[in-house]
Amino acid sequence: MGIQDTPEEWQITATATPFTGNKTSVRTDEVVMPDGSRAKRDYQVHPGSVAILALDEDGRVIVVRQYRHPVRQRLWEIPAGLLDIPGENPLHAAQRELYEEAHVKAENWRVLTDVYTSPGGTDEAVRIFLAREISTAEGERFEVSEEEADMELDRVPLDDLVRGVLAGELHNTCLTVGVLAARAALDGDGLDALRPADAPWPARPFEA
């Protein structure tokens, strides 16, 4: 491949954590710049996330709609969740989130894409999975709370979501990246050419 991101780490001479929250924290690092000067960089330390573009046999994507307080909007999104357990297998986390948010399971899993949500301000890494061969999960529905308590659930044709993204009507990062990646895969080598669900993820190493 002719172009790709590469690991690199500039020297850190001091670090502090001025804020620690329930799931994330804020860190301040003093970094040595290429010219030898030093600069402070503030960023959110994040455990990482998974998201699932679940595509049914009719070409529809499972989407959820919920309120997001920082942006003061109710957004359409694809199911997603935090990697709450250090070293957790991201596929297992994705299967759990799909069950909890949509009460479905999938037999066919692939890695759709890996992204950093905002690398200038957070180290959050997200693995977006493609899930197919969908069916209703067994047992009782998972009991949701807080923002998820009034969450809406729907299935929308993939191309309708692509149009919504390009029209500036849909804004969630994982939905935007996911639907555009899925459309590109369909127009390219096909969904079966995507990476396997257990593909390495250097940004968030995990146990098998």
Distance of alpha carbon 197 from alpha carbon 68, whole angstroms: 29
Instruction: Count CB atoms within 10 A of the CB of residue 108.
Output: 13
Show the DSSP H helices in the chain as ranges. 90-102, 158-166, 173-187
Q: Give me the catalytic one of 133, 138, 140, 148.
A: 148
d(C-alpha 162, C-alpha 172), whole Å: 12
Distance CA 102, CA 55 (A): 12
> Exposed, middle or buried: residue 161 (CB in 10 Å: 0-12, 13-18, 19+)?
buried
148 is catalytic: yes
d(CA 8, CA 205): 17
Name the residues annotated as catalytic.
148
